[in-house]
Structure 1
Amino acid sequence: MKSSLFYTKGELNEIALRAKAIACSKKIDAPNCVVELGDEYDCLRGLESVMFPARRMTRILVRKQILKCHRLIAARDDLSIDRKQLLLAKASSKITEWARRISLETARIDSL
């Protein structure tokens, strides 16, 4: 006997369809701005990657780039462990600068 505490496959599909519909409607109303979401934004937190595909793609690319840098740095035998860590930290800071600026601007707008 299945527990009634879990969603059925049909219920999960319905939830996913509703989430996509909400994201699509909000994207049309405010394609580039979180502020336009108003009070409804609290319930949309998990939909950010659907509503802002550029941020999602950037996040994926940033992760791949940092891992690539890590592999390249780790493969070098001429560097000390401390130097490798420093190089990776610098690379990570450079690569994530765009996301950091977007986060700061979003926080600034949200505070108004």
Structure 2
Amino acid sequence: MSTFVSQSSFLDCSDTQTNTFNVYESQNYYLLSLSLPNILTSTLQVKYMNNWVVVKASLLLSSNAPKFVSQFPLPTNADGSHLRAKLQGDVLAIVVPKKQTYCTEVDIISF
């Protein structure tokens, strides 16, 4: 079961257009759902850089091709190097798996 994560825990740096986004958390991944109306889909880029997800695209609204740019910091337990993105209609879904945690028991020896 996934839970909704407050948007305030992620930073939206879009300065060209207001877009709706939601963040959900499950046991194994984070899901960022971003509404992207009026974008030129052929220009859509999703990148992972220094623990941030960066979304860029050109907008359809003008011949000057204004840019949409949004940045989302990832939690420290997110594995951004394995993120996946899917655009369906005007909604972009970005799935970011969580890093696997390992617990190893260590034998204690006496000297």
Higher strand share: 2
- Greater relative contact order (Cα < 8 A, sep 6+): 2
**How would you bin the TM-score normalised by the shorter chain?**
under 0.3
Give the TM-score, by structure 2 length: 0.25
Over alpha carbons, which structure has the higher Rg?
Answer: 1
Give the TM-score, by structure 1 length: 0.25
